[in-house]
Structure 1
Amino acid sequence: MTRAFLGLGTNLGDRLGHLVTAVAAIEDAVAVSGVYETDPVGGPDQGRYLNVVVELDTRRSARELLAQGQALEADAGRVREVRWGPRTLDVDVLWVDGETVDEPDLEVPHPRMFERAFVMVPLAELAPDLAGGWAGDHDGVRRLGDWQELVARGLEAGS
């Protein structure tokens, strides 16, 4: 089994609902970070995101994790019209222990993960060894609460 991490984000529709549905479908998930509300990075003017990082204990390759992430995005009704635009669900393969991929449609480790607070802050909860004392900017990142707690209460950020 291999340790892997996926980053999930959403800023359209029932944000928490999209995350709950996606996490429930990840069979080899072993932990979920707290839920963070974050400012969008790049792209057009858009609403704030909810973000989590999911830890997996898996036998799947990075390519197989990408396929699952794309299927989860499709199930959430994601439409790819504008690069870095608003989305119902975004799933990124962040890290797979012992695996490096450098292909046009997949790079692992994720090439920008170490630059993004919306990835590194929740990742540090699950894998401080990977976060490495990340000292980047935390502006625009607000922890809403523990995954289990928020799911149990069914809260949507901002309501």
Structure 2
Amino acid sequence: MNQLILHLGSNQGLRHHQLLRARQLLRTRIGPEIRCSSCYETSAWGLEDQAPFLNIALLLDSPLSALEVLGVCQAIENEMGRQRSVHWGPRNIDIDIIAYNDAVIQTPRLTLPHPHLQNRRFVLVPLAEMLPNWQHPVLHKTASELLEECPDEGAVVRV
């Protein structure tokens, strides 16, 4: 089995319901959920003039390859009505692969670990809560260390 870390976010519709529905679909299609962070409300990142997000981190076991996981995540986003009209824009669901085992992957479709995770407090807070000692395979720092060094000062509040 492969261990993967996912980050889920929603800032449209019934945000909490969107996250619960995505978790259910991920468990069914990717594999068992090992751990889930608390839920956090966060400021929008990138395109800041939009509603706040709810975010969680998940740890799952899966027999799927990293590219298969990406395909499933994108299929779930599409099934749930995700619109990709504005880069970093509002979305009812966003599912990002943060890490896949200790793999370092760089393809046209997928880069792992997620190339921006160390710069995003909204990713690092739930990750560091869930897996404080997870080690970034390229930067060789734990999730807690990355959070301490994160330049992002956006609000992240447990709800």
Please report the TM-score for the alignment, with normalisation by the length of structure 1.
0.85
Q: Equivalent residue for 2:117? A: 113
Give the one of 82, 88, 93 matched to 2:86.
82
Which letter maps to 1:123?
L
Contact kept, 8 Å, 2:122 with 2:154, in 1: the verdict is: no
User: Aligned to 1:51, which of 44, 51, 55?
Assistant: 55
Aligned residue for 1:43, secondary structure, equals coil
Q: Aligned in 2, Cα 1:132/1:44: closer, same or farther, shift over 3 Å?
A: closer
C-alpha distance in 2 between matches for 1:32 and 1:60: 19
AA of the residue aligned to 1:38: T
CA separation in 2, counterparts of 1:105 and 1:53?
A: 21
**Gaps in structure 2 of 5+ consecutive residues:** 135-142
How many residue pairs get matched?
Answer: 144
Runs of 4+ in 1 over 3 A off after TM superposition: none
> 1:51 & 1:108 partners in 2: Cα distance?
20
Change (3 A) 1:143 1:102: same
* Structure 1: gaps of 5 or more residues: 145-159
Structure 1 residue 107, shift from structure 2 partner: 0.7
Q: Is this contact kept in 1: 2:26–2:73, CA < 8 A? A: no
CA drift of 1:71 comes to: 1.2
Q: Distance in 1 between matches of 2:24 and 2:108?
A: 29
Partner amino acid, structure 1, of 2:109: D
2:157 aligned residue: 142
* Corresponding residue for residue 98 of structure 2: 94
Deviation at 1:98, TM superposition (A): 3.0
Counterpart check, 1:35 vs 2:39: yes
Identity of aligned residues (%): 38
RMSD: 1.4
- Measured after TM superposition, the shift of residue 138 of structure 1 is 5.4
- Partners of 1:85 and 1:44 in 2: CA distance: 9
Match of residue 24 from structure 2: 24
